[in-house]
Amino acid sequence: MNTNYPFWFQVLKSFYENDDYYNGLTIPYLVGASTIISLDKPLITINDLITEAQNMNLPHMVELLFCEAEEEFVLRIYDKENLVGLDEFHKQYDNLIITEESLAYLSLEEVINDMYMLYQEHIQKGNYHKNNGKWSNYSKYDINRIIPFNS
């Protein structure tokens, strides 16, 4: 894995390549991964995460969508060959694709603000993982999936 990429992208890409998520990973899950990977660094912000997802230097595009199964917004790898399938309800901000209709008419600042309002409280409480409808800290299983990225 190229360590020049943000840690959250490395986690997302690994989960994608190993078919280890259903639709993607939640924003708190990706933000909180740094509590396992880089203990000496502060958490990234939701703003940083979404802004970094725009970076055209990432090897894959990143999609923000609403996962019906989790009933949460998630990020996932977006295959560039699917760009031709984008319709009017989808928005592209450089490397970030938003395919959730409810967010399609918002500015990127508004999207970031919405994600902040939805997830910041969970992040502040250290609840990075949603399981059976409840937010909590990572399980041992999650920690073991994230540990390989420890730098």
Cβ proximity of 149 and 11 under 8 Å: yes
The confidence band for 41, taking pLDDT boundaries of 50, 70 and 90, is: confident
pLDDT beyond 90 at 127: yes
Please tell me the predicted confidence (pLDDT) of residue 103: 92
pLDDT beyond 80 at 39: no
Please tell me the predicted confidence (pLDDT) of residue 144: 86
Cβ proximity of 149 and 10 under 8 Å: yes
Please tell me the predicted confidence (pLDDT) of residue 124: 96
The helix (run of H) or strand (run of E) holding residue 15 is: helix 7-17
pLDDT beyond 70 at 47: yes
Taking the CB of residue 120, how many other CB atoms lie within 10 A of it? 15
The helix (run of H) or strand (run of E) holding residue 33 is: none
As a whole number, mean pLDDT of residues 14-24 equals 82
Question: Helix or strand or coil: residue 9?
Answer: helix
Q: How many angstroms separate the CA atoms of 146 and 46, rounded?
A: 19
Task: For residue range 63-108, list pLDDT tens digits in order.
Answer: 999 999 889 999 998 877 666 666 665 888 999 999 898 998 899 9
Give the whole-number percent of the chain exceeding pLDDT 70. 90
Please tell me the predicted confidence (pLDDT) of residue 2: 53
pLDDT beyond 90 at 21: no
Q: How many angstroms separate the CA atoms of 59 and 92, rounded?
A: 16
Encoded tokens for 29: 């899950």
Residue 10: is it exposed, middle or buried by C-beta count within 10 angstroms (0-12/13-18/19+)? buried
pLDDT beyond 90 at 46: yes
**DSSP classification of residue 80:** G
Q: Which amino acid is at 2?
A: N
